[in-house]
Amino acid sequence: MSEFAGMTVLITGGGSGIGLATARRLVEGGGEVVLAGRDAARLEAAARELDGGDRVLTVRADVSRVADLDGLTDEIGRRYGRLTGVFANAGVPHAGRVADVTEDDYETVVGANLKGTFFTVQKALPLMEDGGSVVLNGSWLAHRGAAMGSLYAASKAAVLSLAQTLAPDLAERGIRVNAITPGHVQTPMLDTVTMGSDQVREFFRSQVALGRIGDPAEIAETVIFLLSKRASYITGQEFIVDGGLVNSIPA
């Protein structure tokens, strides 16, 4: 119960998927979590499921809107007064040929994935304890040239770059910054991307050396490790958690 006692972690996109799986582990271990996202009903359902009482705070916030992030951090300040960690996890998918990408697509994807990640970290800094930990959520697509992936992949490549540059930026406060790079993970986002098609899902599965789609809890384990003091000498790194997708040719 006490493994994560004393930890207070902001998780953007905490109402579902990888974010919720991470929150589950933290709450089970006695930590406090703040779940942020755009959909209040989704956040409330997540909080009910976590059943962590006053160790779970939900705040409706669109990370692409800096004013929302100000409201989010104000609320965290009032409830907990501090953060020991941030998991900047919120993100949106996009698949489309460059010729079809609209300005709205660009604003939405870059707004959530890059701008949202950047300002989530910036706005959390006054609440962050020295020695805290920031984990950013990238994507395997930052490493692969996929025809439909230009917008999403570029936004996630930028997230990986942020982990490298924010690490020395925040090192004077002992704040570590790392990125995780998930492969194919069974979440609502994967269902969106596969459009419910078994054929597409099977194609994704076949790309993975371990021969299966990942479970969000398997990604959460790495996030938790990076958030914890066990990773006290790790900063500016990327952790690829993909079952052997980016660097493997399945047998």
Ligand X SMILES: NC(=O)c1ccc[n+]([C@@H]2O[C@H](COP(=O)([O-])OP(=O)(O)OC[C@H]3O[C@@H](n4cnc5c(N)ncnc54)[C@H](OP(=O)(O)O)[C@@H]3O)[C@@H](O)[C@H]2O)c1
Residues that bind ligand X (CB under 6 A): 12-13, 15-19, 37-39, 42, 62-64, 89-92, 112, 116, 137, 139-140, 182, 184-185, 187-190
* The pair of three-digit structure tokens given for residue 139, joined into one six-digit string: 């994507």
Give min distance, CB of 110 to ligand X, in A. Answer: 11
Q: Which is nearer to ligand X, 128 or 153 (CB)?
A: 153
Cβ neighbours of residue 112 closer than 8 Å, sequence gap 6 or more: 63, 64, 90, 91, 92
Backbone angles phi and psi of 240, in degrees to 5: -85, 120
Q: How far apart are CA 134 and CA 124, in angstroms?
A: 10
Contact 31, 8 (CB under 8 A): yes
When the beta carbons of 129 and 246 are compared against ligand X, the nearer one is 246
Query: 80, 106, 152, 233: which one is catalytic?
Result: 152
Closest CB to ligand X among 28 and 215? 215
How far is the C-alpha of 117 from the C-alpha of 137, rounded, in Å? 9
Residue 233 Cβ, how far from ligand X at the closest point, in Å?
26
Q: Return the number of the residue (17 or 233) whose C-beta is nearest ligand X.
A: 17
Whole-angstrom distance, CA of residue 222 vs CA of residue 176: 15
Minimum separation from the CB atom of position 182 to ligand X (A): 4
Tell me the angle at which helices 17-28 and 40-50 cross, rounded to the nearest 10 degrees. 30
Decide if 152 is catalytic: yes
- Least Å distance, CB 159 to ligand X, is 8
Which residue, 220, 240, 222, is CA-closest to 20? 220
Contacts of residue 122, Cβ cutoff 8 Å, sequence gap at least 6: none
- Which DSSP letter does residue 185 get? B
What's the closest the beta carbon of residue 188 comes to ligand X, in angstroms?
4
Using CA atoms, how far apart are residues 88 and 70, in angstroms rounded to an integer?
Answer: 15
Residue 164 vs 186, nearer CB to ligand X: 186
How many CA atoms are closer than 13 Å to the CA of 33, on its beta-carbon side?
32
CB of 76 vs ligand X, minimal distance in Å? 15
Residue number, 18 or 127, with CB nearest to ligand X:
18
| Cβ contact 184:213 at 8 Å | yes
Catalytically annotated residues: 152
